[in-house]
Amino acid sequence: MYLSRKEEEEGSQTSAADQNETTLSLATPAPAATRPVSAPQAAAVSRSDDERFETASLEGLTMADLMGAADGPSRQGRSSRSAGSAPAAASSSRPARTVDDFDFDEEAFLAALDENEPVGATGDVVTGTVISAESDGVYVDIGGKAPGFMPKAEAGLGVIGNLKERFPKGQPVEVLVTREQNADGMVTISARALALRHSWERVKQLEADGKVVQVKVSGFNRGGVTCDLEGLRGFIPRSQLQNGENHEQLVGTSFAVAFLEVNVDTRKLVLSEKRAASASLLAQLEVGQLVDGQVVSVKPYGFFVDLGGVSGLLHQSSITGVHLRDIRQAFTQGERLRALVTQIDPSRGRIALNTALLETQPGELLTAKETVMAEAEDRANRARLLLRQHEQEAG
């Protein structure tokens, strides 16, 4: 069959119009009465993809917005609002959830945090209950997700033979945390470390109070002897012993000692038998007391006087009421004298002496020393009255 070029063009136009009409009928509802659409009308109806599918309204939206259309406003509603048109009614298969729809119990949340919080940092003191005592140590419930473990060597001071007798099941115990929890939640604890901490605290207080304590010698070495005090190992140098020449014979004996050094950081505890003797004598002295002594050392600033086991200092300003070009004008080494006690410092073991208060006039000690010393008792009574008056005026 032969068709002219004009007939072919009219046929193609008709076919295109039919196709556009079909597409238009799918996009919009067909009216009750339809009529043929001409080619110019079909061209007007045909629109670009952006216009037909409203792709311009999708600008600025994320993939989450597109995928979450079921839980929120519809794409059509968002598109209408973005375009400035009236919002369209959106339908959803399920209602949107709000914050109030989620269950949240603050008390339960905090309780869960407390339950999983590590129990005991290194150096903390905790109280627990004995769960069981084994051959290698003791297990103690200290409130964590796993029990605390106390090695046998950390069960206390000294040697503990039977752990089960020392730590029966259910017994409350106070311990020190020496290592924080491991991967299993177990904490290493020690009763010995806590006992040692308390011992150092007591010893520090004894030193601060200037106390004299009794110790028993447990061993010796070339430098001195060792002893036990409050569960701690103390050391007494030979120079601080009354019988330092034969110090090895002191093992097993007990005597009084005073403190020379207490250092918790270096675990150093040094004691002195001689200072204890001095402290005992110091306790028998009081300000205003008249004492007898012997000059054992002459210094540029004064005399050191032995008062029978303890030394006192007679300072150059307290010798006489006049200026001395040389303190040897008053006393010499080895000479005996009588003096008033004017100050006592037990913590430092110092005693201040005074002979100028025994003078009736300044310089009398240089011109009539024998008379001053012979009348020292009566003069001391008068000097005490003066000291009390000075104290009252100062107070």
Number of independent structural domains in the chain: 3
Q: Which of 53-57, 146-150, 254-258 has the lowest mean pLDDT?
A: 53-57
Q: Is residue 31 part of a domain?
A: no
> Which one, of 158, 279, 278, lies nearest residue 218 by Cα?
158
Q: Say whether pLDDT at 69 is over 50.
A: no
Question: Does 350 or 73 have the greater pLDDT score?
Answer: 350
Amino acid at 202: R
Q: Say whether pLDDT at 30 is over 60.
A: no
Q: What does pTM read for this prediction?
A: 0.53
- End-to-end CA separation in angstroms for the chain: 145
Res 160: pLDDT: 82
pLDDT (mean) for 87-109: 55
Q: Are residues 290 and 272 in the same domain?
A: no
Tokens encoding 264: 């918790």
SS3 assignment, position 350 = strand
Tokens encoding 101: 């729809």
Question: Does 392 or 140 have the greater pLDDT score?
Answer: 140
Question: At which of 277, 294, 326 does a domain end?
Answer: 277
Residues 6+ apart with CB under 8 A from 134: 163
Q: Is residue 9 part of a domain?
A: no
Q: Is residue 174 part of a domain?
A: yes
Res 389: pLDDT: 79
Q: Are residues 321 and 242 in the same domain?
A: no
> What are the tens digits of pLDDT across the range 183-236?
777 889 999 999 999 999 999 999 988 888 999 999 999 999 999 999 899 999
Q: Say whether pLDDT at 67 is over 80.
A: no
Tokens encoding 212: 């004299």
> What are the tens digits of pLDDT across the range 249-305?
999 999 999 999 999 999 999 999 988 888 788 888 888 899 999 999 999 999 999
> Which one, of 282, 285, 283, 291, lies nearest residue 354 by Cα?
291
Q: Say whether pLDDT at 87 is over 50.
A: no
Domain that holds residue 234: 210-277
Res 114: pLDDT: 55
- Which DSSP string corresponds to 241-297? STTGGGGGGGTT-EEEEEEEEEETTTTEEEEEHHHHHHHHHHHH--TT-EEEEEEEE
SS3 assignment, position 131 = strand
Contact 137, 151 (CB under 8 A): yes
Q: If you average pLDDT over each of 37-46, 92-101, 110-119, 169-178, which comes out highest? A: 169-178
Q: Are residues 264 and 333 in the same domain?
A: no
Res 44: pLDDT: 47
Q: Are residues 270 and 246 in the same domain?
A: yes
Res 76: pLDDT: 45
Contact 154, 196 (CB under 8 A): no
Q: Is residue 51 part of a domain?
A: no
Res 143: pLDDT: 83
> What are the tens digits of pLDDT across the range 331-341?
999 999 999 99
Question: Does 374 or 91 have the greater pLDDT score?
Answer: 374
Q: If you average pLDDT over each of 12-16, 19-23, 210-214, 218-222, which comes out highest? A: 218-222
Q: Are residues 271 and 289 in the same domain?
A: no
**Can you tell me which residue has the tokens 């090895």?**
248
Q: Say whether pLDDT at 116 is over 90.
A: no
Res 2: pLDDT: 45
Contact 58, 78 (CB under 8 A): no
Q: Is residue 33 part of a domain?
A: no
Confidence band (pLDDT; 50, 70, 90) for 369? very high
> Which one, of 313, 310, 255, lies nearest residue 281 by Cα?
310
Res 29: pLDDT: 47
| CATH number for position 215 | 2.40.50.140
What percentage of the chain exceeds 70 in pLDDT?
Answer: 69
Res 79: pLDDT: 44
The Cα-based distances of 369 to 296, 364, 373, 392 in angstroms read 19, 7, 6, 30
Return the H-helix or E-strand segment holding 128.
strand 125-133
Contact 360, 340 (CB under 8 A): no
Residues 6+ apart with CB under 8 A from 125: 174, 175, 176, 177, 194
Tokens encoding 208: 């601060």
